[in-house]
Amino acid sequence: MDKTASPVMVPFKSLIQFDKASSTPVFIQLSNQLGHLIRQGTLAPGQRLPGTRQLADLLELNRQTIVAAYEEGLAQGWLESRSGSGTYVATHFPEIKPQGLAGATDDSSATNSVSAGSRPGNEQPGYAFESVDFLVRPVLTNQAGLRLDDGFPDIRLAPMEELSRAYRSYFRWGNPQQHFGYSDTKGHPLLREQLSAYLNETRGLQTTPENVLITRGSIMGLHLASQVLLRPGDVVAVGETTWSGATMNFKKTGATVLTVPVDQYGLDVDTLETICRTRQIRMVFVTPHHHYPTTVTLRADRRIKLLQLAEAYRFAILEDDYDYDFHYLSRPILPLASADRRGMVVYVGSLTKSVAPAFRVGYVVAPKVLIDELARHRRIIDRQGDPMLEFAIGQLFKTGDMKRHFRKTLRAYHARRDYFCDLLANALPDVVQFNKPDGGLAVWASFDPAIDMESLTEQAAQDGLYLSNGLFHNPLGQRLNSTRLGFASSSEAELERSVAVLKKVVHA
């Protein structure tokens, strides 16, 4: 019998099911399911569908719902209408006959009885690839409940209303073709202009927008700089304690990572000089304003010497200034980039700590020729950033809202730092050693060697407090028994409860 002659031979009532509690309209559900039946070959190309009244009676739906579903199918190209004859499956689709591949060894009946998510090919590929062990590290997230995190901002303080207004203005302003088409790989011109001016004002830099590349957070800037500047066998010097996100990027290029001691004054540049005399250094990575993870500030004389060494031995300085905007003594030391006169420093920063981690806006500041090359590399992994977000952030700088936000959060985080440090000193004076940080959003805390940090954090989690065990901060062969305790993301009341939990599990 010709399948196209009889539209009712297909058991539509048993094949099509609706979820009337779903937010998806019923006519869309019907259209989608008809498309599925076509794709799997249940409905053949050219097959006539029931009339709208007939299908409405079969499925116990309003006829207008069937009309709307057919119209959706026509618009999607799955169906075609023949004047005076009815609605048919489009003839330009090949007839689909599901069958196993020739020569396949699987038992098809067994395959059909296994859910797609449990198929072996969904877990392991059938080919070999290299898994890189040093890329495995815990993913830090904003934890619910009480937390003493890595130094995250309080998203409750983010300028959401101001950002919302700036977003709305993006839809009202300018040429839609320009707004919603492809944009500059280097970032939205407004943000590059405003950020250049802001960095010149607050960091003592001397830049133009041509010296600025907008990225999705500072990690993209570090990745691009690593890809452009490093080759297999190059040597990168980092602090003995440092940010693993940076070293992973260096190692992935095939570079060799050498560690340099870090003390209470930051990176030991005398040791670095000794290394330079015997090995060719390609790059030095530093977080001089608040060394990660220990929060110490690189002393001024060491900064000068580091720049001198860079000029003498021709290595690049990759300066990650991840939380410069949060300094509580009102006399922050300017970044290395502000004193750079020979183009030795690649300056990387981020606004995620200033606004909220979900807003992925970072930047790289460097000589124009390097910015151009970084942008070319950025293009092959991420054609452009988020023009709407970049415009909105640029507007906040232009209107002064961002500066007001910085001042507000600085006051809040300053008060939280003082309150938290007092709580910690009073609750655990003989157990936790720390120096009150001059800036940043976390305290570097060293616990009594008798305390097992893994056990401590597990017990704290059972009582509703998240904190890191700090193991990934340990240099090779050393046990620091230290971790970062972030105070900025919690209110004073939350900090008080957090310290109470910490005290309880320490003395348990």
413 and 484 inside one domain:
yes
Phi/psi of residue 443, each to 5°? -110, 135
Residues 6 or more apart in contact with residue 18 via CB below 8 angstroms? 26, 29, 30, 59
Place of tokens 């003995």: 240
- CA dihedral over 371, 375, 376, 381, signed as positive or negative: positive
Q: Which of 73, 89, 105 is where one domain is finished? A: 89
10 Å CB burial of residue 388 (0-12, 13-18, 19+) is middle
493 and 372 inside one domain:
no
249 and 343 inside one domain:
yes
- According to DSSP, residue 179 is labeled H
Domain that residue 209 falls in: 160-400
Q: Is residue 130 in a domain?
A: no
Q: Is the peptide bond before 293 cis (omega within 30 degrees of 0)?
A: yes
- CA dihedral over 34, 39, 40, 41, signed as positive or negative: positive
Exposure b/e, 110-143, CB count within 10 A at least 16 = b: eeeeeeeeeeeeeeeeeeeeeeeeeeeeeeeeeb
Name the residue among 225, 231, 174 with its Cα closest to residue 375: 225
- According to DSSP, residue 158 is labeled S
Q: Which of 89, 114, 131 is where one domain is finished? A: 89
Q: Is residue 120 in a domain?
A: no
363 and 228 inside one domain:
yes
Q: Is residue 109 in a domain?
A: no
List Cα–Cα distances, 165 to 180, 187, 388, in angstroms: 18, 20, 12
**Bridge partners of residue 444, in order along the sequence:** 484
410 and 317 inside one domain:
no
Q: Which of 343, 371, 400 is where one domain is finished? A: 400
370 and 449 inside one domain:
no
CATH number for position 493: 3.90.1150.10
344 and 444 inside one domain:
no
**Structural domains counted in the chain:** 3
394 and 430 inside one domain:
no
CATH number for position 308: 3.40.640.10
Q: Is residue 104 in a domain?
A: no
Q: Is residue 110 in a domain?
A: no
Q: Is residue 134 in a domain?
A: no
Rounded to two decimals, what is the model's pTM? Answer: 0.72
416 and 382 inside one domain:
no
Each residue's pLDDT, cut to its tens digit, for the chain (508 residues) gives 444 545 546 788 888 888 878 888 889 999 998 988 888 888 888 899 999 999 988 888 999 999 999 998 888 888 998 888 889 998 876 555 556 666 555 554 444 444 555 666 677 777 777 777 777 766 666 566 899 998 888 888 888 888 778 777 777 766 666 666 667 788 899 999 999 999 999 889 999 999 999 998 888 999 999 999 999 999 999 999 998 889 999 999 999 999 999 999 999 999 999 999 999 999 999 999 889 999 898 999 999 999 999 999 999 999 998 878 888 887 778 899 999 999 999 999 988 777 777 778 899 999 999 999 999 998 888 877 778 888 888 888 988 988 898 899 999 999 999 999 999 999 999 999 999 998 889 999 999 999 999 999 999 999 999 999 989 888 888 899 999 999 999 999 999 999 999 999 988 7
Name the residue among 161, 158, 166 with its Cα closest to residue 395: 166
| Tokens linked to 377 | 């590399």
